[in-house]
Structure 1
């Protein structure tokens, strides 16, 4: 696909490099502040995405620079697993730059589909509900909102009591060997299978991502077992540490046949107690409000409150 949009005079484009992380951070911080009132991004997260396993910066990323050399736009297309699902994003306060990045990311998404031998691809974009410019751009190109996410938070103003473990349940904290990591990954895939936007990574890719990330640690991955079977998990990380001094639950799930036994509540209360003991101001997570497990009701019931709203936008299109 050849871009039909034109960049403003004086702009140049190149692939992002690890040394660009701070410039991209400044760009995204300013953009987010305009949209939601605060920066809402972490430098480590941006830096790691540029070198994330599976992301080819030379083909999959675009950094738009103004005549003074400062970033004015950033976009990427990321193959989520080789199955014809691609995540794209385009960030710029200049509508002309955003439109150009839209064309480039969508063109690359089609290329990824062709390279994978797919007749069509599914393209996902994750956007703030308050981002009217991006919402108008996406809806004007036949994207539809597939689901809504809410950021949930609970504040910790003092010590939090230790969670009470349900009878017959064993806690496994930290995944330090190949077998436990395989069990954890298989459980995560089973719990999230079929949910909007979830594409399981091959196990080796999942391992490589976690090993390369400074935000995720094997010590923060927790499993619950019943009769020797892993049935529930919590995956915490440091994603909200820099921006909010909060713990962050990146994933929480319970196998369907084991729901309703208080396992998810234990994992939440346990995270709250650990975060409070570590001096965190609160605990944050993101929930798909259309989750078939009625997760939003669970988080509200344990005292978490919603703040930011996001939409998952999707378009399915032929690669030719």
Structure 2
């Protein structure tokens, strides 16, 4: 079923329309401008947008809106998943009510989709965070970016006998997806992500290589833990990390951290990063192995 993006009222002199897949680069540039202003270091990659918008279950036109000054995209909003939205405004266009208009558009669009709540993350104390707080959004959870300090390494922890860590084989991708979704759905209130959407975000992400997907397998060859490693110019970033519930407490996640960051270094990375949020309870684990918080994000939501 095709969705219809809600209307939006923009300041005089600007225009709006639903976005198209070919707008992904312009959206990347707007988010990059915002993150460059709000963070010590931007985190967005164009591949993030391209892969998200390539999901079979994502209707780009029905789930997005762009705000334009002539031909130039200066702000955008999207409903990217259950209860989740994203938006960005070029810092040069702040103070004109665009962020407020996007927030109301997001609410109207999510309500039309049958959602009961909508929200999004922002760096703590940023303009976006302050705006949502002023509009009555409540804090749903916090998240943190972490980095392994220069010269440090995650302590080695031996795997249980018969277990092995390696790159996932293509025939195991459905197991990797299952491990991730089973673990994430313990704390994330959403529907199970379809396998083809998962493939679009990970396996079909621009630049994906088979070694990006790391797994721990048990003595029977069953995937019991997974990590998805992304590599930028100089940074290895673990975007997802999950372990089967009955296998936790045995050092599998720590072994994957060691393996993933070593793999990243072998492919040219000089920095090692990941992120986590307060719903997972994993912050202490990462700090215990020597990682340090570099950024804090606040996810605020509002009932519809």
TM over 0.5: yes
> Would you say the 8 A contact 1:175–1:219 is kept in 2?
no
Distance 1:198 1:282, change over 3 A: farther
- List gaps (5 residues or longer) in structure 1: 114-119
> Would you say the 8 A contact 1:169–1:224 is kept in 2?
yes
Alignment correspondent of 2:24:
21
Distance 1:164 1:213, change over 3 A: same
What SS is found at the alignment partner of 1:201? coil
Alignment correspondent of 1:184:
176
> Would you say the 8 A contact 1:73–1:97 is kept in 2?
yes
Deviations 1:216-241 (A, max 9, x none): 44432222233424322222223xx0
Count residues with an aligned counterpart: 295
Cα displacement (A) at 1:290: 4.0
Alignment correspondent of 2:77:
75
Cα displacement (A) at 1:167: 2.4
Deviates more, 1:277-286 or 1:18-27: 18-27
> Would you say the 8 A contact 1:77–1:109 is kept in 2?
yes
* Aligned equivalent of 2:249, options 252, 260, 267: 260
Deviations 1:154-181 (A, max 9, x none): 145599998744423133522312xx12
State the alpha-carbon separation in 2 of the partners of residues 314 and 23 from structure 1: 26
Alignment correspondent of 2:62:
59
Alignment correspondent of 1:316:
303
Cα displacement (A) at 1:62: 1.0
Alignment correspondent of 2:261:
272
> Would you say the 8 A contact 1:156–1:280 is kept in 2?
no
* TM-score, normalised relative to structure 1: 0.81
> Would you say the 8 A contact 2:35–2:43 is kept in 1?
yes
Cα displacement (A) at 1:66: 1.3
Distance 1:215 1:104, change over 3 A: farther
- Structure-to-structure mapping, 1:78-89, within 5 angstroms: 78=80, 80=81, 85-89=82-86
Distance 1:255 1:160, change over 3 A: closer
* Aligned equivalent of 1:175, options 125, 150, 169: 169
Cα displacement (A) at 1:309: 0.6
Cα displacement (A) at 1:36: 1.7
Deviates more, 1:198-207 or 1:92-101: 198-207
Cα displacement (A) at 1:192: 1.7
Cα displacement (A) at 1:141: 3.5
What SS is found at the alignment partner of 1:168? coil
Deviates more, 1:283-292 or 1:195-204: 195-204
Deviations 1:121-155 (A, max 9, x none): 23231211131x32233223432111111101114
- List gaps (5 residues or longer) in structure 2: none
* TM-score, normalised relative to structure 2: 0.85
> Would you say the 8 A contact 1:163–1:270 is kept in 2?
no
State the alpha-carbon separation in 2 of the partners of residues 38 and 7 from structure 1: 30
1:299 to 2:292 alignment: no
Alignment correspondent of 2:117:
122
Deviates more, 1:33-42 or 1:91-100: 33-42
What SS is found at the alignment partner of 1:136? helix
Distance 1:28 1:217, change over 3 A: same
Structure 1 vs Structure 2 CA RMSD? 2.7
State the alpha-carbon separation in 1 of the partners of residues 21 and 244 from structure 2: 39
1:143 to 2:106 alignment: no
Alignment correspondent of 2:42:
39
State the alpha-carbon separation in 2 of the partners of residues 222 and 2 from structure 1: 40
State the alpha-carbon separation in 1 of the partners of residues 194 and 293 from structure 2: 33
Alignment correspondent of 1:201:
193
State the alpha-carbon separation in 1 of the partners of residues 200 and 46 from structure 2: 20
